[in-house]
Amino acid sequence: MPTVTTDDGAEIFYRDYGSTGTPVLLSHGWPLNSDAWEATARFLAEHGHRAIAHDRRGHGRSSQTWDGNEMDTYADDLACLIEALDLRELTLVGHSTGGGEVLHYLARHGSARIAGLVLVAAVPPLMLHADDNPEGLPIDVFDGLRAGEAADRSELYRNLADGPFFGHNRRGDVSQGLRDAFWLQGMACGHRAAYECIAAFSATDFRPDLEKVDVPTLVIHGDDDQIVPFEVGGQRSAAMVDGAVLSVYEGSGHALPDTDRERLNAELLAFIDS
């Protein structure tokens, strides 16, 4: 399996689609892995781009480390991958937790190699309610996820797949296959990594990161997102980045790479080619 080795010895698995064209890096959500992006990666490669998708540490086929399950290390792991593959003029695309990861990389490591940023149903600016973040969600929401992860994570992932992640509780039209794939990817994530990542995606304050963005930015969000509500995530992120374009998917939920795949892929391609 293709991997890169981080400074602390973790092995980060990645998939590399296509060998020519400008590169695109696709970062996945919690508790998934690079499989979540495989359809989009294939689409982009078939349209002349090199698409790279990795498994975040603790997830999928990457090392399930005890430590490092937080945003600083995720961003540094991403830097190792980008530098090892010598990616330049790179478009960063992050879904959900992956949106936080690619944004934090940009703020932490700079934009010298980066051509553009796309946040898809992403967790920035800050999901957790605080005195200076009244739009955020109460900590009870995330404590509930932690309790489910600790008690019976298999059932937690099943309930997320059948309910709010895909919006199946409202749409009723999400295939059993997609829901099963979510469960399978979740169960491939390390137990400690999955537990600790809940704090990483919910309590990391990305507002300072958004202020550092200096590349063209596209923010895509569904206005019926039950995981990262539009008013908590995309609407606010787009307002914080000078010149960012906000694309709202009316009636759509969180799992846009699956439920709105054709529209999302076309919009990504247009942005990358622009």
For the stretch 205-240, pLDDT in tens is 999 999 999 999 999 999 999 999 999 999 999 999
The band of 163, judged by pLDDT with boundaries at 50, 70 and 90, is very high
3-state DSSP helix/strand/coil percent for the chain, to nearest 5?
45, 20, 40
How do beta strands 11-17 and 3-5 pair? Answer: antiparallel
Q: What is the pLDDT of residues 77-114, one digit of tens each?
A: 999 999 999 999 999 999 999 999 999 999 999 999 99
Amino acid, single-letter form, for residue 124: P
Length of the chain: 274
What string of DSSP letters covers 145-185?
HHHHHHHHHHHHHHHHHHTTTTTHHHH----HHHHHHHHHH
What does the pLDDT average to over 172-181? Answer: 96
If one counts the domains in the chain, the total is 1
| Cβ(209)–Cβ(103) below 8 Å | yes
**Could you report how far apart the first and last alpha carbons of the chain are, in Å?**
33
Residues near 29 by beta carbon (within 8 Å), at least 6 away in sequence = 36, 95, 96, 97, 98, 121
**Half-sphere exposure of 53 toward its Cβ, with a 13 Å CA cutoff?**
29
Determine the 3-state secondary structure of 125 from DSSP: coil
What does the pLDDT average to over 15-44? Answer: 96
| Cβ(180)–Cβ(160) below 8 Å | no
Nearest residue to 65 (alpha-carbon basis) of 21, 117, 6, 105:
6
Amino acid, single-letter form, for residue 245: V
pTM exceeding 0.95: yes
Question: Domain range spanning residue 110?
Answer: 3-273
Residues near 13 by beta carbon (within 8 Å), at least 6 away in sequence = 1, 2, 3, 34, 54, 55, 60, 61, 62
What string of DSSP letters covers 208-269?
HHHHT--S-EEEEEETT-SSS-TTTTHHHHHHHSTT-EEEEETT--S-HHHHTHHHHHHHHH
Q: How far apart are CA 148 and CA 221, in angstroms?
A: 26
pLDDT at 19: 76
Torsion of CA 264, 81, 97, 11, to 10 degrees: 130
Tokens of 9: 């010895």
Percent of the chain having pLDDT more than 90? Answer: 97
Q: In Å, how far are 104, 107, 137, 215 from 113, measured between CA atoms?
A: 14, 12, 34, 11
**Would you please indicate which residues are annotated as catalytic (active-site) residues?**
96, 225, 254
| Cβ(221)–Cβ(248) below 8 Å | yes
The band of 118, judged by pLDDT with boundaries at 50, 70 and 90, is very high
CATH classification of the domain holding 35: 3.40.50.1820
| Cβ(31)–Cβ(194) below 8 Å | yes
